[in-house]
Structure 1
Amino acid sequence: MLASPVPADVAAVGYVERELAAAGTATAYRAAGELTADGRWAFEPAGTAPYRTRVVVRRPATAERFSGTAVVEWLNVSSGHDADVVWASNHEEITRRGHAWVGVSAQLIGVAGGPVLASPVEGADAPGLVGTDPERYGSLVHPGDGFAFDVFTQTARSVRDGTLLGGLTPRLVLAAGQSQSAYAMVTYVNGVEPLVRGLFDGYLLHSRGLGALNLAAPGEPAGLHALTATSPALVREDTGTPVLIVQAEGDLNQVLHSLGSRQDDLERVRTWEVAGAAHADQHTVGPFADLLGCGVDVNDAPMHVVVKAALRALETWARDGTPPAASPRIETAGGEIVRDRDGIALGGIRTPPVDVPVDVLSGVPGPNPSVICQLFGSTTALPAARVAELHPSRAHYLARYTAAVDRLVADGFALAEDREALLAYAQPDRIS
């Protein structure tokens, strides 16, 4: 069972899905020294404990279709359930390329349940896999989130040697996580990567926050209110493995406050910032967006199209050393995003609906103060008079919009395969 924003019909694209148990003895870590803001952390073992968790594998049905790349996702538990958010953004790219995907139930809450961080019912406890279906998952055991990093490592080793992929042996193994799972990836790169160097060939961090996931005590879940998560933490500049960070406008100064950990591009660390995008959006929840009660239409930017390009760029970087395109940064002043007269953020990667607008796409949320609504940003229609001022005719609008699509592809922030998906975001019927 996955709380998937995009339910997987893998058979339709020549894939198989398997749900497996992964068991062993995991090691917890403690910091050997201060967790400094520069991310140059040193971890050491802090005890062991048995575990038995759930792993979901989606892979090509035949060896001939396998690309040789495996994406290992740290499943997101902010909703109280394991969610495959990286898969949701990237499933078209993963399946058309023939990659394998492995989702790891790495954290305590996903397995055994616990407090919900982002839900319409905040503060509620989720039952986890064990509580949801005791007959199916009752044998699962999680010793706490301090052990989650080694659970992820051990799963990745079983991916690399082909054990979890039905005998398919990857040449590249990429780690990925979004939101809370991206916090975990920061901790992993800064403290665990130096201990397991060579296990992963690249890291995709989608929507990281200010800090990193803490090393929780045995039996405890990690917390995004912990000091480690709320203190600035850069990705260490001396990492030997490529790290691509993809940030939405809404990540910078809403709930995640990642602006405080913005860093310059380095030899092995690159950041993409997407103007007009929110931490979560219409694509994330699909038809359930109207049920959130945010008091405004949630953000409908094509963030997922940029994330697919990021996965391709990371794969290329890991395979042959060609780094991703350099992203312009969203303009800020005094810790705030600089906006044009319409309220649209300046700078950053600009998708066609942002560059040729009929709506204001923004990371700024609606009036509902709930955490979940703060993450979903907003879509606000421009006044008809302003639309007419910007776009004197449908032909003019479509010509500019199509040029913006082609520019995004040429710049490397969208894939040619997704050109039609971007064109589908055009709204010529809004032009009189």
Structure 2
Amino acid sequence: MRAWRSTSRILVTALVTATLAGGVAQAAPEPEEAEKTAADGRPLVEGPIAGTVPGDPSAPEVADTYPWMSTVTDLAAAGYVEEEFYLSGEADAYRPTGERVASDVPYTTRLIVRRPTDPGRFNGTVLTEWQNVSAGYDLDALWSPEQIMREGYAWVGVSAQRVGVDQLRGWSPARYGDLDVTGQGAFTADELSYDIFAQAAEALRSRGGDARPLGRLRARTVVAVGASQSAGRMTVYYDRVLPGTTPVFDAYAFIVGPAPSRRGEEPVFHVLSETDVRTPVRRADDDRYRRWEVAGTAHSGWHGQAYRKPVLDRDLGAAPEYACDRPPFSRAPLHHVLAAAYHHLVRWARYGSEPPSAPPLEFAADGTLARDGLGLARGGIRLSQVEVPTALNDGINSGETFCVLFGSHIPFDKARLDELYPSPGRYVSAVRRADIRAVLDGHLLPADAYQNLRDALASGIGRP
């Protein structure tokens, strides 16, 4: 922690000084090779699968197809590439109790990979996401391109569950028609999902075979990440399946969802938005577990919704729209805190360097979250968007379908802003102080603090 604070002080000093001084495809195997497990029992990887947005005419068997939710981010500009692979093998089936009910059940699913092309840009860590299927399709819930690519991670999405795979099969039979994670209908309650997820990690570590999901990259640390529903599935894996199997992940991040109760060998990071904190009863931090709660943030906030809208407009014809009771989508950036959490989690797994703790959100006497005079939650990790507010960002909403998860964003009017920040300098200085404190506490990376400061300088807040 001392080293983190020392390094952060140097970076923050440079950040502030600089800102103020500046003014403001491979073919499918032949039939005789179609056994879906490598000769040594490892899962078989095939790919990269031909076809890219908006279609690759050189591959007639999958012409005009591309990966589901292929990113709209300009990966090439950041030295990244997106590729998709088939993953096949034989998986064991487990009930949520951890009881193994079948062995060696054949499956075929897919991996979507976004990674640096140059090994020199790779930080050695793979964020392996159990894709969320709450909406009825695979969702890149934790793909945060700016932070992930800036830090040099590889990100891999794993299609482990029946709902997501069934949707893929219907969306593009040419591309996904052969996928099956049910043992041809024998296991429809995702009994295979735990072992499939583990085998994906095994495939990412493997240096053998012709098809390598990471290309020339060599994974040093493989982290399992999952959000909400996926965090729940990973909790079952960690608590009940993992103790009887061989570990394949170095660390785990459980985001806006449940986390394990078992103390295992691998470190666990648990990050919750304001939406998700509903009781003052919490598991205490220890040498294998950290829990961070982030004031003002939502289970599913603005950042992810804004990124996914053009993707879903393209792939579904239109992104879902919601009629919520309050203006939806908190803009407090939970993804900034996640970037810091990943940084600490990797150091924890590699070197045993324990992450900093964080203050919990506070509760009022009536059992609800305590709030200040502006309606903002008290306690927790407080980024400048909450500590120096220009809007009410919280984790509260209601209405149809998923509205309860979106939180709210209600901008302050000019009279309130003028009252809070009578000059631009007053506002910018307050933002700088809040984020420097967050960086020194280990809850925010300097690069995100720098961007917040640039945004504050450009905001015009405090000007007549």
Same fold by TM (over 0.5)? yes
Residue 183 (1) aligns with residue 232 (2): yes
* Residue equivalent to 1:135: 174
In the TM superposition, 1:393-432 aligns within 5 A as 393-426=423-456, 427-429=459-461, 432=464
Find the aligned partners of 1:416 and 1:196 in 2 and give their Cα distance.
39
Structure 2 portions without partners, runs of 5+: 1-66, 183-187, 310-318
Identity, % of aligned pairs? Answer: 40
* Residue equivalent to 2:35: none
In the TM superposition, 1:216-235 aligns within 5 A as 235=260
Residue 54 (1) aligns with residue 110 (2): yes
Instruction: Please list the CA deviations of residues 322-355 of structure 1 after superposition, one character each: whole Å capped at 9, or x if unmatched.
Output: 1111110000134310101111000000010100
Q: 1:359 pairs with 391, 396, 404, which one?
A: 391
Shift in Å at residue 169 of structure 1?
A: 2.7
Number of aligned residues = 373
Shift in Å at residue 290 of structure 1?
A: 10
Find the aligned partners of 1:331 and 1:425 in 2 and give their Cα distance.
29
In the TM superposition, 1:161-310 aligns within 5 A as 161-162=206-207, 163-209=212-258, 235-253=260-278, 259=279, 262-286=282-306, 288=309, 291-294=321-324, 295-310=326-341
SS of the residue corresponding to residue 396 of structure 1 reads: helix
Instruction: Read off the aligned partner of 1:60 and give its amino acid letter.
Output: P
With 386-395 and 96-105 compared, the bigger mean Cα shift is at: 386-395
Instruction: Read off the aligned partner of 2:155 and give its amino acid letter.
Output: W
Instruction: Read off the aligned partner of 1:361 and give its amino acid letter.
Output: N
Quick one: structure 1 residues 8 and 106, their matched pair in 2 at CA, closer, same or farther if it must change by over 3 Å? Answer: farther
With 45-54 and 378-387 compared, the bigger mean Cα shift is at: 378-387
Which structure has the larger Rg over C-alpha atoms? 2
Shift in Å at residue 238 of structure 1?
A: 2.0
Structure 1 portions without partners, runs of 5+: 36-42, 113-127, 210-233, 254-258
> Scaled by the length of structure 1, what TM-score is found?
0.81
Instruction: Read off the aligned partner of 2:382 and give its amino acid letter.
Output: R
Quick one: structure 1 residues 392 and 8, their matched pair in 2 at CA, closer, same or farther if it must change by over 3 Å? Answer: closer
* Residue equivalent to 2:44: none
SS of the residue corresponding to residue 92 of structure 2 reads: strand
Instruction: Read off the aligned partner of 1:166 and give its amino acid letter.
Output: G
Query: Is contact 1:237-1:268 (8 Å) kept?
Result: no
Shift in Å at residue 86 of structure 1?
A: 1.2
> Scaled by the length of structure 2, what TM-score is found?
0.75
Shift in Å at residue 197 of structure 1?
A: 4.8
Residue 378 (1) aligns with residue 408 (2): yes
Query: Is contact 2:328-2:403 (8 Å) kept?
Result: no
Instruction: Read off the aligned partner of 2:165 and give its amino acid letter.
Output: V
Shift in Å at residue 137 of structure 1?
A: 0.8
Find the aligned partners of 2:121 and 2:322 in 1 and give their Cα distance.
39
Find the aligned partners of 1:416 and 1:380 in 2 and give their Cα distance.
27
Find the aligned partners of 1:382 and 1:290 in 2 and give their Cα distance.
27
Find the aligned partners of 1:58 and 1:332 in 2 and give their Cα distance.
40
Find the aligned partners of 1:82 and 1:404 in 2 and give their Cα distance.
36
* Residue equivalent to 1:226: none
Shift in Å at residue 402 of structure 1?
A: 1.3
Instruction: Please list the CA deviations of residues 232-253 of structure 1 after superposition, one character each: whole Å capped at 9, or x if unmatched.
Output: xx62342111000110001123
Residue 24 (1) aligns with residue 89 (2): yes
Find the aligned partners of 1:298 and 1:102 in 2 and give their Cα distance.
26
Q: 1:349 pairs with 370, 373, 381, which one?
A: 381
